[in-house]
Amino acid sequence: MAGGARSLDAKFIAIVTIVILFSIVAGFAITKVPSSLALAGAIALAAVIVCFVWPPISLYILIFSMLLSPEFGQRGTQGEGMTIRLDDLIFALISFSWLAKSSVHKELGLFPKTPLNRGITAYVLICLFSTVLGGLFGKINLSGYMFVLKYFEYFMVFFMAVNFIDTRKQARTFLVLLLITCAIVSLYALSQLPLGGRVSTPFEGKEGEPGTLGGYLILLMSVSIGVLLTSNSKRVKMLLTGLILISFIALMATQSRATWMGLPVMYLCFIAMSKKRLMLLGVLAAIIAVGPFIMPESYKERYGGTFEREAGYKATVGGTDLALDSSATERVQSWQGVLRDFKNHPIFGYGINGYWFIDGQFFRTLAELGLVGTSIFIFMLYQIGKFLLAANRIASDNLGKGLTMGMFAGFLALLVHCFGSNTFIVVRIMEPFWFLMGITVVLYHIDKKKLEALQNESDALTEIVH
């Protein structure tokens, strides 16, 4: 008892000493820096303290900031340059508080054990190794290392979600917040329709990135459909139907052909996995029957124009000329450039951001990470798909069934989307994706423990009977 009191006194004295020293330093610093910087520092410190004391609030903030935070800096049309987003700063504060809390509570751990750890770890290491190697050859500047840090951030989002979410109730709350964010983004996209042209996400700058919005929407819409197909609540079904409708309209308005290609794959996955196949087939038949009459002409031209050659653009594959528009032609030519230059660095690639801008995830990965990195990337994707199917099989409630089914269908759609976009490195797609994967892992662990408990009870009863 006395030892415990002495320990408590020591901790109290240490805390008071730190607070006093910090107060002296802070008071001196405030007199030497601009008031705006001092205010920003005070807000940041308050945020760190709040995140440390109550970690879920940091995740609430992060969810909304994923799609609704502005960017600072400049980025060229070919992907050059760097930008800093508000959620990067929020993430830095959350990470700092997470590290501090983990150092105090050793049981939390930095990187909890999940079925995806091997793929994630290998991918991060090969990204870092290839980039360092590219730096030694003079092909990588600071931006390459910043991109590696950004990739690492996606996985940190995943591990933080797994660390801080403990119950089904929490998982449901975070999922609802993600869907609310999707509704806000979809309504913002719809507000751009009267302006004409393609819609994009908030704070994307003057040019916008419709393909990014398309990838985000197809993922969140897929999750919404999965939960809708398994829910027993009429209210939930009504709200999700509304969300799916506005998301679909916004998705079509992006005029992103990579996203459009993912839609059939997503829908076929639901038909294969869901018990409500007849309803899904009926909805599909209605869309096919009515779609051509209500689809705007600009959408038809966008799709049909893909296979119309434009003057000055020519793509040839295997000696055969392809009739493609300028955008598709440039993609094909850039992919051919990757295959042509690949032999210069076939094993580990040019490093992250060490090759010119490529719009196509697999070709970009091949150029940047070589055969080794591409193999690891494909292995990580395999682990994700395998895990989602396993989680769906053991899910014990409608939320788990719907979320895992929606995530698997959305994942397949993103695999199609990434043939025309850099889907798996885009922040506005990957942060929500990995947060959703974190929720899915938490539910999987809960269901697995429940299944193991039931199995143990069954084994015990069997032993009693015998």
Structure tokens at 68: 């609704």
CB 179 within 8 A of CB 228: no
CA gyration radius, the chain? 25
Burial of 312 (0-12, 13-18, 19+ CB in 10 A): exposed
- The string of DSSP letters for 7-61 reads HHHHHHHHHHHHHHHHHHHHHHHHTTS-HHHHHHHHHHHHHHHHHHH-HHHHHHH
pLDDT at 12 over 60: no
Determine the pLDDT at residue 4. 46
Whole-prediction pTM: 0.85
pLDDT tens-digit readout, 355-375: 888 889 999 999 999 999 999
Determine the pLDDT at residue 358. 87
Give the pLDDT band (50/70/90) at residue 44: low
- The string of DSSP letters for 359-377 reads SSHHHHHHHHHHHHHHHHH
Establish how many alpha carbons lie within 13 A of residue 440's alpha carbon, considering only the half-sphere containing its beta carbon: 32
Higher pLDDT, 428 or 38: 428
Domain boundaries, the chain: 37-73+82-110, 111-460
pLDDT at 321 over 60: yes
CB 215 within 8 A of CB 429: yes
What angle, rounded to 10 degrees, do the helices at 168-191 and 234-253 form?
40
Helix, coil or strand: residue 73: strand
Give the residue-averaged pLDDT of 413-430.
93
pLDDT tens-digit readout, 202-239: 876 666 789 999 999 999 999 999 999 999 999 999 99
DSSP-H helix ranges across 74-115: 86-104
pLDDT tens-digit readout, 103-152: 555 555 567 889 999 999 999 999 999 999 988 877 777 777 888 888 88
Beta bridge partners of 81: 75
Give the pLDDT band (50/70/90) at residue 2: very low
Determine the pLDDT at residue 285. 94
Higher pLDDT, 257 or 27: 257
Give the residue-averaged pLDDT of 302-315.
67
Structure tokens at 258: 């990579």
CB 373 within 8 A of CB 127: yes
Structure-token match 């009429």, residue found:
234
Least confident of 77-81, 132-136, 262-266, 276-280: 77-81
Question: Which 8-state DSSP code applies to residue 236?
Answer: H
CA-to-CA dists, residue 231 to 10, 238, 291, angstroms: 53, 11, 27
Alpha-carbon distance of 230 to 223, in angstroms, equals: 11
Alpha-carbon distance of 463 to 460, in angstroms, equals: 5
**How many residues can be counted in the chain?**
466
Structure tokens at 456: 């143990």
Determine the pLDDT at residue 78. 45
Give the pLDDT band (50/70/90) at residue 79: very low
Burial of 443 (0-12, 13-18, 19+ CB in 10 A): buried
Give the residue-averaged pLDDT of 298-312.
71
Mean pLDDT estimate for the chain: 82
pLDDT at 33 over 60: no
Alpha-carbon distance of 404 to 390, in angstroms, equals: 9
Give the rounded percent of residues in the chain with a pLDDT score beyond 70.
Answer: 73
Beta bridge partners of 83: 73
- The string of DSSP letters for 181-210 reads HHHHHHHHHHHTGGG-S----TT-TTT--H
